[in-house]
Structure 1
Amino acid sequence: MATQLDLQEQEQLDALKAFWKRYGNLVTWLLIAALAAYAGWNGWNYWQRDQALKASAMYDELDRAAAAGDADKTARIFGDLKDRYPGTAYAEQGGLAAAKVQFEKGQVDAAKASLTWVAANAAEDEYRTVARLRLAAVLAAAKQFDQALAELDAAKAAGFEALVADRRGDVLAAAGREAEARAAYEAAYKAMDDSVDYKRLIEAKLTALGAAPAPAAPAASGAAS
């Protein structure tokens, strides 16, 4: 004779069979989808690590070529780096390094191209802004002042306001627009933290334009005892 416990177990088994008959296919497909997503996530992470490792090795080779002043080899490696691993930080760093050695070797157009690629394709706003700052300097050296100012208008990374204003002053001064240059340097001077040594250079630029900043007010003396 069946006990009460046997009856309860049979009821539970029947309920489970009914549930599985109704929802079994759905549960199976949900499990398959979850396993596929997990496998895909692991595969994506592996692919990302593999890409970063290969890009790192290529960047090391580029860095050695740049240190040796070999602009042509640096450019070739950067070309491969941005074609194969454009989404990595190594491609962004490689573009900046390539542009530096290219400009030093007089390859101005190549330097512009490298910096333009970083400004347009870097994933992080900071890299894009650094590229635009350097590109503005290269353009100004080529007397392409309007293009240089346009690059600075697009340099928007937070924390770079003082450097952007300073570079704007450099471009305007080179273009002979001294009043506007002075205003840009004044904005840079106000935005630059007093603890940053570069602020002294901005002060020197203002002094050269006849607009030396007023000396800081002396700290208030303590109350008389």
Structure 2
Amino acid sequence: MAYNLEEQEQLDNLKSLWKKYGNLATWGLIIILGSYAGWNAWTSRQTGQSVQASQLYEEMQKFIVAKDSAKVQAVAEDLKTKFASTSYAPMAALLAAKSAFEANDLKLAKSQLQWVADTSKAEEYKALARIRLAGVALDEKAYEEGMKQLSGTFPAQFEADVLDAKGDIYVAQNKIDDARTAYKAALEKMSEKSPGRQALQMKLDVIGGATDTKVVSK
């Protein structure tokens, strides 16, 4: 589909916004969910296995702060192998994926995320992993794979993020009408206080959806 210069400039601006905010917003979900996981894990420390897993997870946090990606991955593998039944294992894999992504190792990031998507018993972890897999697919221009990850059902609290991610893929494919529809639907489902709302509104504005935003942002 052909676009005039103004439309092409809008597309370029939107893609730039994705690079600046898109990954930040979705990786940020990992930190938020991490707090939730920490609480759940704390309440289940009756067993020795949970205590050992918590100690490893605390070590992992230190390596993340030190930006020691190799040790982050090593601890994540230990938790996945020895303590897969605890809530620490999927959270460690999610954080290891983030570490790998920041190190530009998309293959490793995908591996960690896929493990969570395939094995986690918590729907929240599985949902977050699938959304991030779609983000990695977008970076790799594997648009069909990205949409596949975003298909099916998700917990209600992730519906806005799924629609937002779909909009990003539509933009990358120059399917602007579809992107506009997805972004507006995401705004309708997103809380007014959501940290990702401003970035989403900016993306919608860039593709010419600002005239209707008053309807969806009440």
TM-score, normalised to structure 1, is 0.71
Q: CA deviation at 1:154?
A: 4.0
Q: Percent identity?
A: 33
Structure 2: give runs of 5+ residues left out of the alignment. 1-43
1:144 aligns with 2:149: no
Distance in 2 (alpha carbons) for counterparts of 1:208 and 1:182: 10
Q: Secondary structure at the match of 1:153?
A: coil
Contact 2:45 2:51 in 1 (8 A): no
**Alpha-carbon offset, residue 193 of structure 1:** 2.4
Aligned partner (choices 187, 204, 207) of residue 206 of structure 1: 204
CA deviations 1:156-176 (Å, max 9, x no partner) are 112211111111111221232
Q: Which of 106, 127, 130 matches 1:129?
A: 127
Q: Distance in 2 between matches of 1:175 and 1:72?
A: 35
**Mean CA deviation greater in 82-91 or 66-75:** 66-75
**Which AA in structure 2 matches 1:121?**
T
Shift in alpha-carbon separation, 1:97–1:216, aligned structure 2, 3 A: same
- Which one of 67, 71, 74 corresponds to residue 72 of structure 2? 74
State the aligned residue count: 172
Q: Alignment partner for residue 85 of structure 2, among 84, 87, 108?
A: 87
For the pair 1:54 / 2:86, whether they are aligned, the reply is no
Which aligned pairs between 1:120-199 and structure 2 lie closer than 5 A?
120-154=118-152, 156-199=154-197
- After TM superposition, the runs of 4+ consecutive aligned structure 1 residues lying more than 4 A away are none
CA distance in 1, matches of 2:126, 2:211: 31
Distance 1:68 1:175, change over 3 A: farther
Alpha carbons 1:132, 1:155 under 8 Å: kept: no
**Which structure 1 segments of 5+ residues have no match?**
1-45, 218-225
> What is the CA RMSD across the aligned residues, in angstroms?
2.0
- Name the CA shift for 1:193/1:182 in 2 (closer, same or farther; >3 Å): same
Between structure 1 and structure 2, the one with the greater Rg is: 1
Relative to the length of structure 2, the TM-score reads 0.73
Q: Distance in 2 between matches of 1:194 and 1:135?
A: 26
